[in-house]
């Protein structure tokens, strides 16, 4: 199945310190791969088929723990194919010891809870993916956890 998705700038909000109500957006540099087109700050167009892929990589220059993130959301426009089959998703690469070398990764799936599939075309926002604690939203297989779990895990 062919899927085409246009993504605006992803917003990640990071709490500045525990117990504070202030937060700051995280800034990124971007690279693309596969069938992705566009340039910073976006929009980017990602398309895939059963035998092709596309990827948008966002690299931040700040060190922080995932637990410090209070909001991850993205605006997107589904042009063809919808959401399903684990795509699209956000893949978070981890560096637990902050040495600049990847230690693992995990995925956060888009789409409605339960099925994570939606054939609806058009503009949408993922909502705050951090606030969604539904089972199946997170795939922690790349860091030794369950492939079908929630934020709490």
User: What is the average per-residue pLDDT within 67-72?
Assistant: 84
Cα–Cα nearest to 107, from 79, 136, 81, 132: 136
Q: Is the pLDDT of residue 123 over 80?
A: yes
Distances (CA, A) of 48 to 5, 37, 43, 151: 9, 12, 17, 27
Query: Which pLDDT tens digit goes with each residue over 25-68?
Result: 777 778 888 888 888 777 888 877 778 788 887 777 777 788 88
Q: The whole model's pTM is what? A: 0.77
Q: Is the pLDDT of residue 70 over 90?
A: no
Buried b (16+ CB within 10 A) or exposed e, 103-128: eeebbbbbbeeeebeeeeeeebebee
Q: What's the pLDDT band for 11 if we cut at 50, 70, 90?
A: very low
Distances (CA, A) of 18 to 23, 94, 151: 10, 21, 18
């Amino acid at each position: 199945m062919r899927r085409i998705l246009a993504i605006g700038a992803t917003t990640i909000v990071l709490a500045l310190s525990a117990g504070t109500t202030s937060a700051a957006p995280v800034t990124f540099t971007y690279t693309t791969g596969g069938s992705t087109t566009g340039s910073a700050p976006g929009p980017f167009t990602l398309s895939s088929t059963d035998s092709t892929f596309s990827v948008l990589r966002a690299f931040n220059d700040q060190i922080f723990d995932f637990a410090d993130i209070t909001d991850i959301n993205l605006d997107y426009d589904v042009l063809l194919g919808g959401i399903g089959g684990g795509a699209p998703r956000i893949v978070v690469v981890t560096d637990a010891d902050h040495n600049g070398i990847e230690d693992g990764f995990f995925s956060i799936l888009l789409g409605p809870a339960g099925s994570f599939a939606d054939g609806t075309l058009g503009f949408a926002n993922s909502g705050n993916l951090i606030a969604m604690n539904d089972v199946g939203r997170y795939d922690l297989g790349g860091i030794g956890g369950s492939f079908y779990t929630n934020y709490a895990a």
